[in-house]
Structure 1
Amino acid sequence: MTRTPTILATSGGFEHDARHQLVPSGLVKKALELSGTARPKMCFVATASGDATDAIQLTYAAFAGWSVDVSHLALFPMPNVDDIRAHLLAQDVIWVGGGSVAGLLAMWRLHGLDVVLREAWEAGVVLGGVSAGSICWHVGGPTDSFGPDLRPVTDGLGLVPFGNGVHYDGEQQRRPLLHRMVADGTLPLSYATDDGVGLHYAGTELVGVYSEVEGARGYVVEAAGGTVTETPLKPVTV
């Protein structure tokens, strides 16, 4: 296991194959690779979808035949493991699925996962995820947790001291709201990802941008004299 605190925050990770079955794509493969383990233990966390049974089952099926030991953590209607801390600290990768980041953060704090996940990160467990599973590691970002009109969420775990925008090229409201949040100081300097792009942090430093979609990019958005600047970040293909 890598001992450097590592996060892979993404707007991707899984795709459908020729038979329309869910399979891991480049970004999930990258998260597993970052663990530095030949047969990594990976826990899937679906809190943001209310621990949707289909999401959990499809994730297990997606790794059939892979050299990965998959487990999951569910919090509804009660935790599915006796010791959440022990289970998460035993993993090489924790992958967080999409859904409601506001709901996810509330449930995590209720069960003490905010503390446990920081401990796992500091211990070198790779933290990854998509959408809500990306914003959660940051200070906050635009979210549809409250309805179709996007609103700010600013109570992320803050493991990295930046804002985060996801689905940057796929959902119309994401970019302008992130710009407003950075311009008015609601968020600090922020990193955003087009669909299919991931941000690799070592500690609190962005050290890599990866893409599983041709032409997709990452971006840095920062305040500049009362407005914002947006700079594209060219990714490495995975």
Structure 2
Amino acid sequence: MTDSTAPRVAIVTGASGGIGRAVAERLAADGVRVVAHYSGNADAAAEVVAAITAGEGEAIAVGGDVADEAAMAALFDAAEQRFGGVDVLVHTAGIMPLGPIAELDLETFDRIQRVNVRGTFVVDQLAARRMRSGGAIINFSTSVTRLQMPTYGAYAASKGAVEAMTLILARELRGRDITVNAVAPGPTATPLFFAGKPQEVVDRIASLNPMERLGTPEDIAEVAAFLAGPGRWVNGQVLYANGGAA
């Protein structure tokens, strides 16, 4: 039986990135112990851990390919060995190569699906098997599934699959007291978003929503923190966090 007085434990994939880091630090501010996952940037993950521990939180960094089931099993092992179990999974890790459908090479398409679709399936499967009662699985989709922006075809396709898995897993976990939801951010001010975009394109995209700005990683982290903590009656949903863009 889970000790309701013990601190909750969260795995945050992609915690070395903009949104992932904001989520990890936001959860730590709520007293959650954090396992900060990274794929290639160990130094950035170490910075996240340092920031959390400087604020008297508890965190460790663990690397691995999200699409590799052995590496992700080791990630869950590390969480259990260090902190005793897993209560929250926030799966922010993903990649976003862009290109028109008519021109995008199939090798890039396959890489997007491997990381974004298989990666989500792998970590969700492990969470479904190993998460404690009272837990929360939070996947990441995108508002582009509604906005239908050109050049985002392969990426949006991968996130459509993430949404389908999310909604089905929520129903498969009936009786487990585990919620499963997806957050679908709109354009958010992260290095991933800014890469390759001239300022006029950034400004045009920022003007699409009624708030007339880009989202911030902290905006998205607030949504994840709600689903990870008090939002127990939200289950099997996709929450669009985009300032009203669609």
TM-score under structure 2 length normalisation: 0.44
User: Going by fraction, where is helix more abundant, 1 or 2?
Assistant: 2
User: Going by fraction, where is strand more abundant, 1 or 2?
Assistant: 1
